[in-house]
Amino acid sequence: MLTGGAGRAVLEAAGDQVAELEEQLELLPPSRFVPGSAAHVAMVDQVKRSGAGRPPGARNLATRDMVAFVRRVFGDPFLESARELLHTPASLAAELDCSKLEAFDRLERIRADLRPFMYARLAPIDGAGRPVAPAFTMVFGAAAPASSSSPDRPPWLEDFEQSQGLTLDQAPVSHDAVSHGDGK
**pLDDT 10s digits, 156-182:** 666 666 666 555 555 566 666 666 666
| Helix pair angle (4-14, 16-26), 10° resolution | 100
What's the structural domain count of the chain? 2
Residue 178 lies in a domain: no
The Cα 6–Cα 18 span in angstroms is 15
Residue 19 lies in a domain: yes
pLDDT at 123 over 80: yes
What is the structure's pLDDT at 184?
Answer: 56
Global pTM value: 0.40
Distance, CA of 103 to chain centre: 36
* Domain boundary, last residue among 98, 118, 138: 118
Going by the DSSP 8-state scheme, the letter that residue 180 receives in this structure is G
8-17, 67-76, 113-122: range with lowest mean pLDDT: 8-17
- Measured torsion, CA atoms of residues 154, 155, 156, 161, in degrees rounded to the nearest 10: 100
Kindly indicate the confidence band of residue 138, based on its pLDDT and cuts at 50, 70 and 90: confident
Residues 114, 80 share a domain: yes
pLDDT at 105 over 90: yes
**Alpha carbon of 5 to those of 2, 11, 17, 21, 99: distances in Å?**
9, 10, 19, 20, 78
Stretch 48-61: mean pLDDT, rounded? 77
pLDDT at 88 over 80: yes
Residue 96 lies in a domain: yes
**Alpha carbon of 151 to those of 134, 144, 148, 170: distances in Å?**
31, 11, 10, 20
pLDDT at 9 over 70: yes
> Which residue has better confidence, 66 or 157?
66
What is the structure's pLDDT at 160?
Answer: 65
Residue 171 lies in a domain: no
Alpha helices, DSSP H, located in 87-131:
89-96, 100-118
Residue span of the structural domain in which 33 resides: 9-50
The Cα 136–Cα 159 span in angstroms is 24
Amino acid identity, position 68: A
* Domain boundary, last residue among 92, 118, 144: 118
The neighbour count for residue 36, using CB atoms within 10 Å, is: 6
